[in-house]
Structure 1
Amino acid sequence: MAIRLFHRDHPTLRLPLISKDARFVIWPGVGAWDANLNYVRLEAGEGNVPHIHTLSEDTIFILEGEGTIHDYTNDISLPFHAGCIVHVPVGVKHAVKADRGTGVVSVGGPSPADVPLLKAAGALPPDAAPPSQ
């Protein structure tokens, strides 16, 4: 496979459980099984549905705005702002919220790609698997 170029305005998947404007740019649907990159815009007051990545770490770079990452597993909430990087370990129930009076724009996502979550959301068929190496 050769190097490819993608643009945030031409995603192949949008996933409302993340936000009204969650654009999956790099994910298994484009052949990327070991990496995932999402472009996400949260409107002021909007937040993710709390979720868990059972096999993936989630890393999110905050480009614009302020909000809070809620860690439901450990009962903590941490404020963030543009320039911060949020890292969520495997198995931690969490949600990102634009709850500090402004919208949030971020890039990042689970690594490796969260295939179980994508299957559960109907974004991948139940039998989806990476190609043999």
Structure 2
Amino acid sequence: MAIRAFHRDNPSMRLPLISKDARFIIWPGTDAWVANLNYVLLEPGEANKPHVHTESEDTIFILDGEGTIYDYTNDISLPFHAGCVVHVPVGVKHAVHADRGKGIVSVGGPSPADVPLLKAVGALPKDALPPE
């Protein structure tokens, strides 16, 4: 396989679980099973559906805006703003909320790929496996 370049305006998948405008740029659908990169726009007042990555850490770099990350597993919430990086450990139920009067632009995603979640939402076939 050779080096490839991708652009945020040409995502290979969108996932409403994350936001109305969650663009999957690098993920198993592009043959990337370890590194993942999503470009996500959350409108003011919008939030992810609470979710868990059972086998992946989730790292989110905030490019613009501000909001709150909710950790439902540990019953805490943390505010963040542009320039912050949010890190969610494996198994923590969480959601990002644009609840501070501004929208959010972020990049990041689970690593390795959250194959169980992607299969559950129909983004990957039930029998999909990473290459050996």
Q: Give the shorter-chain TM-score range.
A: over 0.9
Fraction of identical pairs, as percent: 82
Q: For residue 71 of structure 1, what is the aligned residue in structure 2?
A: 71
Q: Secondary structure at the match of 2:118?
A: helix
Q: For residue 36 of structure 1, what is the aligned residue in structure 2?
A: 36
| AA at the equivalent of 2:74 | N
Query: Where does structure 1 differ by over 2 angstroms across 4 or more consecutive aligned residues?
Result: none
How big is the shift at 1:99? 0.3
Q: Tell me, in whole angstroms, the C-alpha distance in 2 between the residues paired with 1:115 and 1:37.
A: 14
Q: Tell me, in whole angstroms, the C-alpha distance in 2 between the residues paired with 1:3 and 1:78.
A: 37
Q: Secondary structure at the match of 1:126?
A: coil
Q: Tell me, in whole angstroms, the C-alpha distance in 1 between the residues paired with 2:120 and 2:30.
A: 18
Matches within 5 A, 1:1-133: 1-132=1-132
Which structure 2 residue ranges, 5 or more long, are not aligned? none
Using the size of structure 1 for normalisation, the TM-score is 0.99
| AA at the equivalent of 1:72 | Y
**Structure 1 residues 69-110: Cα deviation after superposition (integer angstroms, max 9, x where no partner):** 000000000000000000000000000000000000000000
Using the size of structure 2 for normalisation, the TM-score is 0.99
**Structure 1 residues 23-61: Cα deviation after superposition (integer angstroms, max 9, x where no partner):** 000000000001110000000000000000000000000
- Pairwise CA RMSD: 0.4
| Number of residues of Structure 1 aligned to a counterpart in Structure 2 | 132
Q: Secondary structure at the match of 1:117?
A: helix
Q: Tell me, in whole angstroms, the C-alpha distance in 2 between the residues paired with 1:76 and 1:120.
A: 27
Q: Tell me, in whole angstroms, the C-alpha distance in 1 between the residues paired with 2:114 and 2:36.
A: 8
Q: Tell me, in whole angstroms, the C-alpha distance in 2 between the residues paired with 1:121 and 1:67.
A: 26
